[in-house]
């Protein structure tokens, strides 16, 4: 009797954890931006800049495992789309100040707003989920493991 009760509790806890982990999936949003066609492999930063900006999701392993690495991004209230862990896009942005809104779900909606100034020297922007919010940084350098990154598939 005692063992069956403990097995029932273990099973309930396991299913609860699986449910909570799976429920953190964020529905993708369609992009209103035209992505720059990348027939070439981006390994040279000289191909970026002058308005051509690479934006990548730099989520760490823990966010990828529990499905909270998905980021919905808006730029000046226009949806850029969803970037999953280790995905990147290249878009054209003119010089100026842009308001980025970033959303990921980790039990709750984690929203953040960032103002970024784009100039001719801006090349690479890293966006990543954190435990309590999101972080957006102009790095102007590719991540060390960029060979494992991919362009996102079109999602609707």
Q: What is the pLDDT of residues 87-134, one digit of tens each?
A: 999 999 999 999 999 999 887 889 999 999 999 999 999 999 998 899
pLDDT at 19 over 60: no
Instruction: Report the chain's mean pLDDT, rounded to a whole number.
Output: 83
**Cα(123)–Cα(115) distance, integer angstroms:** 16
pTM to 2 decimals? 0.78
pLDDT at 20 over 80: no
Residues 151, 42, 115, 23, Cα dihedral to 10°: 30
140 CB-near residues (< 8 Å, 6+ apart): 45, 121, 122, 123, 124
**Cα(132)–Cα(111) distance, integer angstroms:** 9
Longest CA span, the chain: 71
Quick one: what percent of the chain has pLDDT higher than 90?
Answer: 46
Highest mean pLDDT among 23-27, 31-35, 84-88: 84-88
**Cα(25)–Cα(19) distance, integer angstroms:** 11
User: Which strand ranges, in their side-by-side order, compose the sheet holding 88-92?
Assistant: 88-92, 52-57, 124-129, 134-138
Q: Residue 73 belongs to what H/E stretch?
A: strand 71-75
> Which candidate, 32, 39, 47, 36, places its Cα nearest to that of 123?
47
The pLDDT assigned to 36 comes to 66
């Amino acid at each position: 009797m005692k063992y069956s009760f403990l097995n029932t509790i273990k099973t309930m806890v396991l299913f609860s954890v699986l449910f909570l982990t799976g429920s953190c999936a964020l529905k993708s949003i369609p992009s209103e931006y035209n992505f720059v066609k990348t027939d070439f492999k981006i390994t040279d930063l000289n191909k970026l800049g002058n308005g051509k900006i690479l934006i990548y999701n730099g989520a760490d392993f823990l966010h990828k495992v529990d499905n909270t690495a998905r980021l919905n991004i808006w730029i000046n209230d226009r949806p850029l789309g969803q970037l999953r862990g280790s995905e990147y896009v290249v878009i054209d942005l003119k010089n100026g100040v842009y308001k980025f809104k970033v959303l990921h779900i980790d039990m709750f909606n984690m929203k953040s707003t960032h103002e970024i100034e784009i100039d001719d020297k801006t090349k690479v922007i890293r966006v990543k989920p954190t435990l309590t919010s999101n972080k957006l940084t102009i790095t102007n350098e590719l991540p060390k493991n960029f060979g494992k990154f991919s362009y996102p598939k079109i999602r609707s």
